[in-house]
Amino acid sequence: MKMSDVYPALLLVAIAAVQADACVSRAGSDADARPPKAVRLVAVEASTDAAATTYSAVVTPNAQVDLTFRVSGYVVDVRRTKGADGRIAAMEPGAAVTTGLVLARVRASDYQAVVDKAQGSRDESKAGVDAAQAGLAEANAAFNQAESDFSRIATLWQQESVTKPAYDASKARLDMARAKVDAANAAVAAAQQRATAAAAQLQEASIALGDTELRAPFDAVLLERHVDVGTLVSPGRPAFTVADLHIVKARFGVPDTALHMFRAGQPLRLTVDAFADESFQGNVLSVAPAADPKARSFEITVAIDNPDLKLRSGMIASIQVAADEAADRRPVRIPIDALVHDPARDQYLVYAVEKKVGGAATAQAVHVRPGPLVGNQVSILDGLTAGQRIVASGANLLRPGDVVKEIQ
């Protein structure tokens, strides 16, 4: 466990011990009720070191996926490579794969039969469309003839040159021809719908046939192989696990007091036990915007180029971050008994003394952001400057506005 992970707990324990001793003194003070309160002042010291904080990170792939078949069937082929013993066998973990490489196949004959059947249905439906369109053309020709005949009969009817039965018969033939055109149009629409459905079935069958091959989605390294020739696979069952290790990510958690030390794009160097004499350059990829609800820490992700694939998934990396490299200014130090914890607001503060002209000196609360413990002193990351005078002894007996008297 890193010191940064246990720091808040240790700091609270140290402050609680100081405050516990102060409670006894406060009881006597309340009983005596004798202001002003005697305090001892100290000057805030500038930190003289640049101690680095070490974090342990877990190396993870840039991307890792489980590859599964979308169709079921018996595996009839698994990608084979030449092993270290010189024999050709199914590839084993550690083998490199490239984008689009076929890793395994299931028996395709069943799916090919479905494609052939769908192909036949599509061809039949296309023939149906052609026949329906031919019927529509015939119906349109008959309608045009009936319309021409009726126009001529209607003219003769107006001239009283034809009988009423002849006129009625011509009109009936026109109505019948119009109905046949409507029926032919409906037949063409129905045939086209059947052709569309048949084409969709063929496409679906073709996709299923294509899914009998399982391909690598990107350049990767094989982590696990779960199938062999003869394995019966089903949709959703992992067949291979592959990972992109050309770029790896180191992930580690930091407390909220250390968030200021990291920013996106910040360069960091890492070391791993497997390569003790070598360091790796990385850059902060992201800083978590929210804390992990269980660990109460913020995850930092560092991206590292790994062209030689030396870094492997699961390795433990060490990252050192120097305080003076991450902060705008070097922190200062104060005695631990000068730091007061306000549990109601979960804040830390110290007391400065304000002297008014012609009046008494009073205690003024100054909110601070503490850093790591160094012996009996605590680093202050924000809120104080070197040389500033604050209350050391007696700080836990004070409240803002209390009248104080400095003692040596």
Burial of 355 (0-12, 13-18, 19+ CB in 10 A): exposed
Which positions ≥6 away from 234 have C-beta within 8 Å? Answer: 69, 72
* Cβ proximity of 327 and 282 under 8 Å: no
- What is the per-residue pLDDT for 374? 67
Q: Domain 52-62+244-323 adopts which CATH fold?
A: Elongation Factor Tu (Ef-tu); domain 3 (2.40.30)
pTM: 0.57
pLDDT along the chain (408 residues), means of 10: 46 51 43 68 76 83 95 95 84 92 95 94 94 94 92 88 89 93 94 94 95 94 94 93 95 86 92 89 94 86 94 91 54 86 85 80 88 76 87 86 84
Element holding 321 (H helix, E strand): strand 316-322
Q: Is CATH 3.60.10.10 the right assignment for the domain spanning 3-50+330-406?
A: no
End-to-end CA distance of the chain: 41
- What SS3 state is found at 200? helix
Chain position carrying tokens 């978590």: 288
**Cis peptide upstream of residue 8 (ω within 30 degrees of 0):** no
Q: What does 246-266 look like in DSSP terms, one character per residue? A: EEEEEEEEE-GGGGGG--TT-
| Structure tokens belonging to residue 318 | 């060490």
- What is the per-residue pLDDT for 31? 37
129/136 Cα distance (integer angstroms): 10
Note the maximum CA span of the chain: 140
- What is the per-residue pLDDT for 375? 67
Nearest to 135 by CA among 192, 186, 184: 184
The angle subtended at Cα 305 by Cα 328 and Cα 251, nearest 5°, is 60
Nearest to 361 by CA among 407, 408, 405: 405
